[in-house]
Chain A
């Protein structure tokens, strides 16, 4: 029984023409979404997909597309308040979480 959630997996697509059957998506998926159908990959459990993006990032053939992001309400609120792109996380490679005022928090959004 896979824990599922709203809208999970809705944006996930696999372009079977581009798929080379290397299987790396099966290797990196945290929720066993994919399965091998012969020499190509297919989506087995769409509802389990949390759209983390590991598959599309690691597909060397560019055969997978997904609307990836971090499913964290605090990050969504934070990005709305700071006027960033919808859902963009509050701190990343360009922002420091080392601020003294952050060190008292539980830390950024995670």
Chain B
């Protein structure tokens, strides 16, 4: 690395010299600052700043024959990898994925053949190690073409396990992957950690307009500002909040248990349930039921559909189909819901 290395960075423990090159050796234990940063990233706070400088790093006491693990420069990823490699003597080649995790970056092409070939050159890897093997995370295969990398750099890409916690076993077993190491899952735990960032994006983009609309509708219904306006606004906000929870929290939590493959429909189903319950709680009438279903279902459906981006098994073709069909329906439903509410407020119905 030609630039100055800030070895006051907490997670760098020392510098390793390979000829004229200086490689930072990083700690495997995560500090409170690392963990705090990870939590904030999960909540979408300062998320895009949570990255590390791309380049070559080391763990333990790497030597010329040590394995090289390739990863992305999203710090959450980097921290997981270095902590999973505790006890090993390896190099970590960090690619510039602009702070995005391996799989998403691979899908975009930033964790790809081009960047890998470039980073091999920039880090002068061939001067540091005496072999030509790189361990690339399996999900990087979406952006990396192993035979192309070989042609361009002379380095052989071995696709390691999906999860970094399996890297140690992979290396110790002589680079053998079990079927489980190869398979991507979407377990409850994996789904839960994705919820905070969905909520935070929601908070920033949609809360104000939705609650604002809820209050305006209440003013309309109460023909001005009165106690009725306040109770009306509270009701509207409660209804909307339920829709937000249904789409952004319940869909992720209950994903495999909700019938139908479509994420939008999963959101719609849960939204319909909430709409029915909410109507029963706030005074049942067919008009009220229609209004709440027309308002809650599209909100919950949209949020459900949005979860496709965080999922691990949705094809672009399926998502495009959903977007094509759901978007006009969502818009129409919202318009009808607001109109019906306004008409009902004027006592015509």
A interface vs B, CB < 8 Å? Answer: 2-11, 24, 27-32, 48-54, 57-58, 60, 67-77, 80, 86-87, 89, 91-93, 96-98, 102-110
Beta-carbon contact of A105 and B320 below 8 Å: no
Main secondary structure of the interface of A (DSSP, over half): loop
Beta-carbon contact of B322 and A73 below 8 Å: yes
Main secondary structure of the interface of B (DSSP, over half): helix
Q: A31-B183, A57-B142 are in contact. List 16 more A-B contacts (CB 8 A).
A: A3-B186, A8-B313, A27-B177, A30-B138, A30-B139, A30-B162, A32-B179, A50-B314, A54-B138, A57-B143, A57-B145, A73-B306, A73-B323, A74-B306, A87-B320, A105-B44
* Residues of chain A lying within 8 A (CB to CB) of residue B133: none
Beta-carbon contact of A97 and B98 below 8 Å: yes
Q: Counting CB contacts under 8 A, is B204 at the interface?
A: yes
A–B pairs, 11, beta carbons within 8 Å: A5-B318, A8-B315, A8-B317, A30-B182, A68-B142, A86-B320, A93-B112, A96-B98, A98-B48, A107-B47, A110-B310
> A105 CA to B108 CA in the complex, in Å?
18
* Residues of chain B lying within 8 A (CB to CB) of residue A67: 316-317
Contact of A58 among B147, B162, B310 (CB under 8 A): B147
Beta-carbon contact of B316 and A91 below 8 Å: no
Interface residue total, chain B, C-beta cutoff 8 A: 62
Beta-carbon contact of B142 and A110 below 8 Å: no
* Residues of chain A lying within 8 A (CB to CB) of residue B110: 92-93
Question: Which residue of A11, A71, A73, A74 has the most chain B CB atoms within 10 A of its CB atom?
Answer: A73
* Residues of chain B lying within 8 A (CB to CB) of residue A29: 182
Beta-carbon contact of B108 and A11 below 8 Å: no
Beta-carbon contact of B47 and A106 below 8 Å: yes
**A82 → chain B, closest Cβ, in Å?**
15
> A2 CA to B261 CA in the complex, in Å?
12
* Residues of chain B lying within 8 A (CB to CB) of residue A9: 315
Beta-carbon contact of B316 and A106 below 8 Å: no
Question: Which residue of A7, A67, A109 has the most chain B CB atoms within 10 A of its CB atom?
Answer: A7
Beta-carbon contact of B309 and A49 below 8 Å: no
Query: Per-residue CB proximity of B305-333 to A under 8 Å, as 1/0?
Result: 11011111111111111110000000000
> A4 CA to B263 CA in the complex, in Å?
11
